[in-house]
Chain A
Amino acid sequence: MKKKIVIVGATSSMATHCARLWAATNDEVEFILLGRDAVKLERLAADLSARNARVSVQTTCVDFEDPAAIQATVSSIAANGAVDIVLIAHGSLGDQARCQEDLVLNKSELIVNAVSPVLYAEAFAQAMEKTGEGTLAIIGSVAGDRGRKSNYVYGSAKGLVTRYAQGLQHRFADTAIKVVLIKPGPTDTPMTAHLKVQGMRLDPVDVVAKGIVQAIEAGKAVAYIPGKWWVIMMIIRHLPSFIFNKMNI
């Protein structure tokens, strides 16, 4: 089978591991990798091409914030034919305390984690609407389920992504287009290296990537990865404030 897969933020650890899983299948995969850093993109492109002779890779350096540039990038990809899977994976885990003091940093975190992913999602949604097919997967986070003092800047951005994905799912409910919202728990990646040092338990990125690829394959609307986070976040969402506000999380 032939597959065309676009990954935005492809060099993030989670996206890289997903790409490797797709490259390990028997499918003939055409990757289009988008990211901000040409050196990193080329490094990943070489890795994927070496893994499987049936894989072809294109890389494009993109802007994450300029709407006109996002539109142009997506239009030119769409002009080359229908895309089977889009995975929007970029993000940044800024320091909460610093974001509270520095509104410039706060704004840039909100833009890269919320505005940028949904603009990409909207642009690809337009393209998929024309062909009437495709799977659009966006990486949200369990942090988006309820605001917490330890990371509500990141959490609220992921909350926006959650609502946006819901809206797209509603819009495409009658079509073959699938919108998949991925909600990983804390995962062992370079983005969370500081959490690991603080002793937080993190799930291995290859396990999380496997879950993401399976959720996309199944076309799930919302996927907590690993599944235990569905239970944990259900409880956290439903805790009454008088208990929740006493918790140091």
Chain B
Amino acid sequence: MVKIASWGRLSNDPHHVVPLVEPRYVSQQLGDTLPGVVFGNGRSYGDTGLNPGGTLWSSRGLNHLMEFNRSTGLLRCESGILLGEIQKIVIPAGWMVPVTPGTQLVTVGGAIANDVHGKNHHVMGSFGDHVTRLTLLRTNGETIECGPDYRPDWFAATLGGIGLTGVIVEATLQLRRVPGPWLETETVSYEDLNGFFALADESEAEWENTVSWIDCVGVRSNRGLFMRGNFKDLKVSTTALPEPSGQSKNFPFVPPVSLVNKLSLRPFNDFYYWINKRKTGRQVMHYQPFFYPLDNLHNWNRMYGPRGFYQYQSVVPREVGKDAVAAMLAEIGQSGQGSFLAVLKTFGDRQSKGLLSFPQPGVTLALDFPNQGSRTLELMTRLDAVVREAKGRIYLGKDARMPRDLFEAGYPRLNEFLRYRDPGISSAMSRRLID
């Protein structure tokens, strides 16, 4: 048994870890050790990839590329390879993974199972929009190939299906062309939510990537910084720009208390706002710091101390978006708790293909709260009320505590999904929300 924590570090329970390293033996391994659930690179925040006391099938050994067609951009690979490992290989060839989340340290299998989204949702949709085929191994030994145009029902269930329909062992991705690793970016500060929505509306047509940091403990209003970027052909001038050194730092220990706390939050947010406000304007940036600002600080999740932290990411429809976000920010303001890595973004009108996919048209707010026990849980219950009333939903890949009724209300296609459930797969989340 090995102790395993997810990214939120809320628990650290022993698991029986079974490394999957050879595709041809995986089926046998699943049958011998079920019930279990796949664990990829451990970037889910909550309990999707945990199974305390039980089996975890570790997929990182399934990390081989299978075929890369440099003229069509079709890439077939095993499911345990990281998006970052793929990017390093395909970008020099003029291609890129079309959709990546805020970290590239996630596996292809995890990106499918959570149908992840990125800063370009309004243009590119979610990860599943670029998967042309996947291979699913059921724990009864059956192999199911599926894709958007081949057995699409299985594809829709597996996409965003948090690993519960079987073990994804390989996938084919349609990459997109990029002129190189550089983006032309612009940072614009805004003073309140109206400012945010105005910038979001204005940016969607012209900018492929948009995201914003919002100060959720601002004194007078919820000011923030809106970041947008487009890939740019910089063949001529790249020599003047240094590539990132590739050097990374490590958060070396778990501090005895969360460094994000009542005393530090306001200065942290003030500092971040003022430092970045000075840098507003246009700038050429490498894709790594633009898309994955925290990937070079390993174990940053340790800064929340020994009790870990909760992520709370919701999406609410656009019509009620402003009111709902304002209501959530007001709850946070009153609670005296708060978030440092608060992210606000609008989703495009594309409907995701997955039955349990998170992205839907509207506005999404992601918040992090250091775990302070019942105080934090109570705050999130109040946020739930806002989400419920707005007919929104909460992101499964980040959740560790949502109540069942909110899950069922937010994911109306759950019953359809259940027909594709693999009975040999069980996770802490499936027991909490489904079984």
Which residues of chain A have a CB within 8 Å of any CB of chain B?
Answer: 24, 39-40, 43-44, 46-47, 50-53, 190, 193, 196-197
With A24-B88, A53-B93, A190-B19 in contact, is A47–B66 under 8 Å at CB?
A: yes
Task: Give Cα A196 to B16, complex, Å.
Answer: 12
B residues whose Cβ falls under 8 Å from a Cβ of A: 1-2, 17, 19, 21-24, 61, 64-68, 70, 75, 77, 88-89, 93
Q: Are A50 and B19 in contact (CB under 8 A)?
A: no
5 smallest beta-carbon distances between A and B, as pairs = A50-B65, A50-B68, A47-B64, A47-B65, A190-B21
In this complex, what residue of B is CB-closest to A198? B2
B89-A193 in contact (CB<8A): no
> Could you tell me the distance in whole angstroms from the C-beta of A188 to the nearest C-beta in chain B?
10
Residue of B nearest to A193 (CB): B19
With A24-B88, A51-B89 as contacts: A43 and B23 at CB distance below 8 Å:
yes
Q: Which residue of B lies closest to A26 (CB)?
A: B92
Find chain B residues with CB under 8 A from A46 CB.
64-67
- With both beta carbons as reference points, the residue of chain B lying nearest to A47 in the complex is identified as B64
Determine the chain B residues whose CB is within 8 A of the CB of A44 once the complex forms: 64
Chain A residue contacts of B70, Cβ below 8 A = 53
- Are B21 and A43 in touch, CB under 8 angstroms? no
Q: Which residue of A43, A52, A196, A197 is within 8 Å of B64 (Cβ)?
A: A43
How far does the alpha carbon of A197 sit from the alpha carbon of B93 in the complex, in Å?
40
In terms of DSSP, what is the predominant structure of the interface of chain B? mixed
Please report the C-alpha to C-alpha distance between residue A46 and residue B64 in the assembled complex, in whole angstroms. 8
Q: What distance in Å separates the Cβ of A16 from its nearest Cβ neighbour in chain B?
A: 9
Q: Report the Cα distance A46→B77, complex, angstroms.
A: 10
24 contacts between A and B (CB under 8 A): A24-B89, A39-B24, A40-B22, A43-B23, A43-B64, A44-B64, A46-B64, A46-B65, A46-B67, A47-B64, A47-B65, A47-B66, A50-B66, A50-B67, A50-B68, A50-B75, A50-B77, A51-B65, A52-B89, A53-B70, A53-B93, A197-B1, A197-B2, A197-B17
- In the complex, what distance in Å separates the CA atom of A63 from the CA atom of B93? 38
Known contacts A24-B88, A51-B65, A53-B70; 16 additional CB pairs below 8 A are A39-B24, A44-B64, A46-B64, A46-B67, A47-B64, A50-B65, A50-B67, A50-B89, A51-B68, A51-B89, A52-B89, A190-B21, A193-B19, A196-B2, A197-B1, A197-B17
What residue of chain A has the Cβ atom nearest to residue B85's Cβ?
A20
Residues on the B chain within 8 Å of A47, using CB? 64-66
Residue of A at shortest CB range from B65? Answer: A50
* Distance from A208 Cβ to chain B, minimum over Cβ atoms (Å): 16
Give bound CA distance, A191 to B299, whole Å.
26
Note all chain A residues with C-beta closer than 8 A to B67: 46, 50
**When chains A and B are docked, how far (Å) is the Cα of A200 from the Cα of B64?**
27
Q: How far is the CA of A24 from the CA of B88 in the complex (A)?
A: 9
A44 CA / B65 CA spacing, docked (Å):
8
* A51: min CB distance to chain B, Å: 5
Q: Which residues of B contact A51 (CB under 8 A)?
A: 65, 68, 89
Q: Which residues of A contact B17 (CB under 8 A)?
A: 197
The closest CB in chain A to the CB of B70 belongs to A53
Q: Closest A-chain residue to B23, C-beta based? A: A43
Shortest CB-to-CB span from B173 to chain A, Å, is 12
Chain A residues with CB below 8 A from B68, complex form: 50-51
Interface hub of A43, A44, A196 (most chain B Cβ within 10 A)? A43
Residues of B within 8 A of A40 (CB): 22
Nearest B residue to A17 via CB reads B63
- A233–B387 Cα gap in the complex (Å)? 59
CB-defined contacts of A190 to chain B, threshold 8 Å = 19, 21, 61
List, in ascending order, chain A residues with CB within 8 A of B65's CB: 46-47, 50-51
Residues on A with beta carbons closer than 8 Å to the beta carbon of B24: 39
- Shortest distance between the CB of B74 and any CB in chain A (Å): 11
